[in-house]
């Protein structure tokens, strides 16, 4: 596992040099009982929203659909709502994420753990995991409170 952070740093440097901007797509998958589907990655701590990078020639919606199916076995049954576009300077200055809220979806398969996703689970909104990622916790608080979107974008 010690080599994984080194590989991540090397990839970040490559992306920094080869791309002016990176774009990701993530979604808060919320079911009719207000449960939230989260994933736990193998390469970072805590629970997070499923999603990933937008590839060359791919739209944000195509990337989101692909990532949700790959990471959580989820297919959207109606278009998700764009909640905001956020900048993540922690990874590197030009990292951006289009963040969606999806309330109409269906889990068509239960993915096995793999090199990227250790597990996924549905959590009631009042029983989120203690080690939920800070960004995911902030977005869920905004979503469930009906609060205005973060001014970070």
Here the CATH number for the domain that contains residue 113 is 3.90.79.10
Q: Which residue has the higher pLDDT, 8 or 19?
A: 8
In a domain, 71, yes or no: yes
Please, what is the Cα angle at 151 between 18 and 58, to 5 degrees? Answer: 35
> Distance between alpha carbon 138 and the CA centroid of its chain, in Å?
13
Q: Domain for residue 2, yes or no?
A: no
The answer to whether the pTM exceeds 0.85 is no
3-state secondary structure of 45: coil
Whether 43 and 4 have beta carbons less than 8 Å apart is answered as yes
Q: Which domain holds residue 41?
A: 21-145
pLDDT tens per residue across span 53-91: 999 899 999 999 999 999 999 999 999 999 999 887 766
Domain count, the chain: 1
């Amino acid at each position: 596992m010690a080599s994984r952070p080194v590989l991540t740093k090397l990839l970040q440097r490559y992306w920094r040099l080869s791309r002016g901007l990176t774009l990701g797509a993530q979604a808060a998958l919320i079911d009719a009982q207000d449960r939230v589907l989260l994933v736990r990655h193998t390469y970072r701590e805590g629970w997070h929203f499923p999603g990933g990078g937008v590839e060359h020639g791919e739209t944000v919606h195509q990337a989101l659909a692909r990532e949700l199916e790959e990471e959580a076995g989820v297919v959207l049954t109606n278009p998700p709502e764009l909640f905001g576009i956020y900048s993540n300077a922690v990874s590197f200055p030009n990292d951006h994420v289009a963040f969606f809220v999806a309330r109409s979806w269906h889990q068509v398969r239960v993915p096995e753990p793999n090199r990227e996703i250790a597990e996924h689970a549905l959590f009631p909104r009042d029983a989120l995991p203690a080690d939920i990622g800070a960004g995911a916790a902030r977005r869920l608080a905004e979503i469930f409170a009906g609060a205005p979107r973060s001014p970070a974008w």
